[in-house]
Structure 1
Amino acid sequence: MAEPLVSVREGKLLGSVKSDLNGKTFFSFQGIPYAKPPLGELRFKAPQPPEKWKGVRDATKEGSECYAKGISAYVGSEDCLVLNVFTREISGSTLKPVMFWIHGGEFTSSSGNSDLYGLEFLLTEDIVLVTFNYRLGPLGFLRLRDPSLGVPGNAGLKDMVMALKWVQRNIKQFSGDPNNVTIFGESAGGAAVHLLMLSPTAKGLFHKAISQSGCATNVWASCSKYTIHQLAENLGVYTNDEELLLKHLRNVSLEELFRASEKIPDHLMVGVFRPFGPVVEEPSDEEAFLSEDPSTIMKSGNYTKVPLIIGCCNREGMFVYSLCITGKTNKLLLDETVVPRSMNLRVGSDIYKRAVEEIKRFYFHNNENPLTDLDNIYRLYTDNAFQYEVYKTAKSHLDSSKTPIFFYNFFLDTELNFMKPLYGMNEPGVCHAEDIAYLFKSFFTPDIEPGSAELVGILRMVKLWANFAKYGNPTPTNDDPLLPVKWSPVTANSFQVLDIGEELKILPDHPERKAMEFWDRMHMIKPINFQL
């Protein structure tokens, strides 16, 4: 098959031909600029529209990752605002649903490249898939208070909006339907999906959403400190003048900038402040990605209302536990890993201490040595760092929107699950990020045997997500042997949950209902009149 050639608004692209899980071919276009390189004066700024090029651009190889700390070294570059498009057909007569993937990585690491997010699974479905890179850490989430400097924060989120605008302009050339775009992501990507729903700047750019293991109100999904001065001091610059600080930060090397940023504590724990991440922007001449607190926006109903799939893995907290025991935080079951910031209690106060005791009593039942109770440690960290806010988000949208909301619980544990082996864990349960192994092939993926639980899991997840992208309903028919259940949206009277394991099961209620009700009560605590 000849190498494909496509013309987009900015110029011509030469792609390549690849094969999916079933050996069928699809077309791949990689490293496509969706914004002007954010270099020089554009460092830390909102993205600018891409420039046109002459001739044919080689799109047969991936572009650079956005600069960040990799496993053992810094990787990527600042010229990284590129996306990839994968399609079974070019300029076809029938436009296909578009699935737009947002990678996770704490807003500080990773990329949309194929070493982690290979396309072989999803491209078995008749969709168009888009992956992309966005700026990370200080490059994507530095903020200044002086509105005249044009760095109010959220540049990495604004990159996402710019990539979605590129999709609206160009995706027809790849047989994609710009009027049927589903955004989906996991962890920080799941939180970003939710933030895009809440941002007025993304209105009209997508039509469905899937948020996996993350939402805008998770405590790790926002920047909670103003860090410009600490960052500058780590670089040996001592001034309160933001204009001078910005000038200096634009001129330092990327490695200097990131080494200085890493000296600012960022443990991802539920009670610890994060230095770089999404923020509520202060007023400026620039259109804000987010100008109000996410909870306020949800309550107001003033957001993009689209069909939504949302849920978690059943033991997300294994990931948090691993951070504790590896020395990155070394704070297992200390107060700040137990009480989430969202409770707004002053650390060390009497009411805070009493909240700690109530939480430990609920999860460990007066066990004198809770550090031996691993499963309940995992449950605690799952709920306070992930599950409760995801559940509360579904409930909040249910109150303010009439669009369908599908809730799931992922507990499929096979040889594809790659996080637990990395952490040396072998207890039952599915760790944070292990669901993505059933959507994307990666360097962790083992050989897939015909008829295996791994293959069935892949086919089911891909079918559920692709059905939703196509029809707004993950189980639209009753005659698909892969999907022998009818997954209905949650309602005010029935919080139905799809349990995704070796078998699909419909649960009449949240599997951790008692824990969700416990956290509801905890979040009603006020500094005065502490009662449960």
Structure 2
Amino acid sequence: MSGQNFDFINPIIQINSGKIRGKLNEDVRGGKFYSFLGIPYAKPPIGDLRFKAPIPVDPWLGIFEALEPGNVSIQPNYLTKQIDGSEDCLNLNVHTPCLPNLHAPKTSLKPVMVFVHGGSFLTGSNHKDLHGPEILISENVVIVEINYRLGILGFLNLEDPKLEVPGNASFKDMVLSLKWIQKNIKNFNGDPENVTIFGNSAGAASVHFLVLSPMAKGLFHKALCQSGSALSSWAYAFQSNQPMAKALGLGEVSDEELYRYLKEASVEEIFKAQTMIDEETVKCNRARLVGAVVEPQTYKGEKFFKEHPVKLLLSGRYTSVPLLMGYNSGDGMIVDGMVAPEMNYIYWTDKEHNVPGLLNLPKGSLLSKQLGEEIVKFYFGKGPYSRETHLKQFYDITTDNSFLRGIFSSIKHHRRTSNAPIYMYRLSLESDLCFYKNIIQIELPGVCHVDEMGYLFTTLFTETPSKGTIEDITQRKMCRMWANFARYGNPTPFKDALLGIIWEPVVNPNKVAFLDIGDCLKIEYNPEEERMTFWDRIYSSGKLESKL
């Protein structure tokens, strides 16, 4: 009690690093909660720490004012065409329904839900524009939202071991934030023995990587992946040296020469080079500038991945925890927000474009050409092809190749190698909360990538739905199931009046049960079965396992 200040409006609490002041807020159901914003969990990754693994923050004197959001990582602002953010971005937010010693007589510790934002490893933050806690926190959970380094600042990978830049720095940021939570979350009335990590898109792939990485073992107890997985080719990075050197106009340089240059370069110069490379890779199904890598064996520091994560998945050598994974019925529509629609013809004019990068087939090889032909024929038929006549098929192939196939296959592999419960969902309800589909003006049926966020968080683009509407009911249902999973490891531990259903876990990898979240909740089996069977054959033909 000695470290507490009993100001109910702006309470001060003690954490390992020092005292912090938060503020009282109100959730969408009229309940109260406390927010502590922008809390640093690591030293600023600047100067000699640029590109390096994060180091825990130093203690501070006085009171840290955790009243405003912290800095976001360096990223593009698509409205102003400028650079937003700061390299000093390793901070997190904590939102809690109650605090120890402020609520008598004594409250029990709450489940902790740690959100990892998406954004292609290039954009996004823990700010409330897309991740306001006011909805989910009404389910009586503690919510933590983290920032991590984006772009090449978080993903530079070099082979030279003495430089200590092996890659995966952003994932190590996430690990350090989870260690911070283990040390501090009791001070926010959170239970360090009941931590769920969850995220969407690149954040979902990150969550899956944390499940597979030995570095994160013991730091969480459940994992929830929304539209992303470790079997998404876009979640992996190629070797940084030559692409960065070329984009910077440096010619042939050693790892050490490139590192020395980048260490002294301005953020603006680094960002310009990163953008040049990303424009060529973001629209493909192969490795990119940013993402996971297997760290060199010669690197002496702690490795996030010392072997390929897919090997870990296939072998069962990972943290076995309850999993909940799923997708949106039209996830692939997101490509229209990333690539100009008139560029969609590449999916049939460059047929090898559709060959998954995880197969690691040289472009132009006989097998790559063959698989590219098969994929185009399966989705688009014999032709002639056009966006106007094949738009649904285009969204199907982008949904399957970039999202669903990886999620579905991951679930089946986990079922074979883990004893922990696994649940799968599909969000198919189109409503006024599906804001991103409206932004990019898509009229075909389907729930676009990112559009599940409006059911879990307040956003700049959605309004609190009127009570009793389909939006309100579904929002309440999803938050209840997500919070139940965090609390019990089961989204429907008992049949309550709101949900009216028991969510069947995946028991048989050959008959995968999933919950369809539509006008109502219903159990179905094997999503898009014909399409998923086709992709099993493609990956089998490419012999994925032999290439790892």
TM interval, short-chain normalised: over 0.9
Q: Which runs of 5+ in 2 are unaligned?
A: 1-7, 101-105, 544-548
More off after superposition, 331-340 vs 179-188: 331-340
The alignment status of 1:402 with 2:419, answered yes or no, reads yes
More off after superposition, 313-322 vs 82-91: 313-322
Determine the structure 2 residue equivalent to 1:530: none
- Deviation track 1:338-377 (CA, whole Å, cap 9, x = no partner) reads 2222334332334333323322232234353353122121
Change in 2 beyond 3 A, CA 1:240/1:13: same
The alignment status of 1:251 with 2:264, answered yes or no, reads yes
Determine the structure 2 residue equivalent to 1:101: 115
Change in 2 beyond 3 A, CA 1:340/1:144: same
- Kindly state the Cα deviation for residue 306 of structure 1 after the two structures are TM-superposed: 0.1
Q: Which of 31, 49, 66 is matched with 1:24 structurally? A: 31
- Deviation track 1:90-126 (CA, whole Å, cap 9, x = no partner) reads 1153100000000001111111111111011111111
| Equivalenced residues, count | 524
Q: Map 1:375-524; keep pairs closer than 5 Å.
A: 375-478=392-495, 480-492=496-508, 494-507=511-524, 509-524=525-540
- Kindly state the Cα deviation for residue 441 of structure 1 after the two structures are TM-superposed: 0.8
RMSD (CA atoms): 1.7
The alignment status of 1:48 with 2:55, answered yes or no, reads yes
**What TM-score, normalized by structure 2, do the two folds share?**
0.92
Q: Secondary structure at the match of 1:135?
A: coil
Q: Which amino acid aligns with 2:369?
A: K
1: CA distance, partners of 2:339 / 2:523: 34
Q: Secondary structure at the match of 2:121?
A: coil
Q: Which runs of 5+ in 1 are unaligned?
A: 528-532
- Kindly state the Cα deviation for residue 322 of structure 1 after the two structures are TM-superposed: 4.5
1: CA distance, partners of 2:224 / 2:77: 27
2: CA distance, partners of 1:178 / 1:327: 49
Q: Secondary structure at the match of 1:50?
A: coil
Q: Which of 6, 12, 28 is matched with 2:13 structurally? A: 6
- Kindly state the Cα deviation for residue 323 of structure 1 after the two structures are TM-superposed: 3.5
2: CA distance, partners of 1:341 / 1:13: 46
Change in 2 beyond 3 A, CA 1:428/1:107: same
The alignment status of 1:290 with 2:305, answered yes or no, reads yes
Change in 2 beyond 3 A, CA 1:491/1:170: same
- Deviation track 1:255-281 (CA, whole Å, cap 9, x = no partner) reads 111111111144333444411211111
Determine the structure 1 residue equivalent to 2:128: 114
The alignment status of 1:279 with 2:293, answered yes or no, reads yes
Q: Which amino acid aligns with 1:5?
A: I
Q: Identity rate of aligned residues, in percent? A: 44
- Deviation track 1:214-237 (CA, whole Å, cap 9, x = no partner) reads 1112010000x2222332343343
Change in 2 beyond 3 A, CA 1:234/1:299: closer
2: CA distance, partners of 1:520 / 1:275: 27
Q: Which amino acid aligns with 1:234?
A: A
Determine the structure 2 residue equivalent to 1:164: 178
- Deviation track 1:104-153 (CA, whole Å, cap 9, x = no partner) reads 01111111111111011111111100001000111100011111111000
Q: Secondary structure at the match of 1:160?
A: helix
Q: Which of 74, 90, 95 is matched with 2:99 structurally? A: 90
- Deviation track 1:360-401 (CA, whole Å, cap 9, x = no partner) reads 232234353353122121111111111111111001111111
- Kindly state the Cα deviation for residue 525 of structure 1 after the two structures are TM-superposed: 1.4
1: CA distance, partners of 2:464 / 2:232: 35
Determine the structure 2 residue equivalent to 1:373: 390
Change in 2 beyond 3 A, CA 1:348/1:246: closer
More off after superposition, 313-322 vs 35-44: 313-322
Check conservation: 2:345, 2:386, Cα contact below 8 A: no
- Kindly state the Cα deviation for residue 175 of structure 1 after the two structures are TM-superposed: 0.3
- Kindly state the Cα deviation for residue 330 of structure 1 after the two structures are TM-superposed: 6.4
Determine the structure 1 residue equivalent to 2:330: 315
Change in 2 beyond 3 A, CA 1:526/1:431: closer
The alignment status of 1:235 with 2:248, answered yes or no, reads yes
**What TM-score, normalized by structure 1, do the two folds share?**
0.95
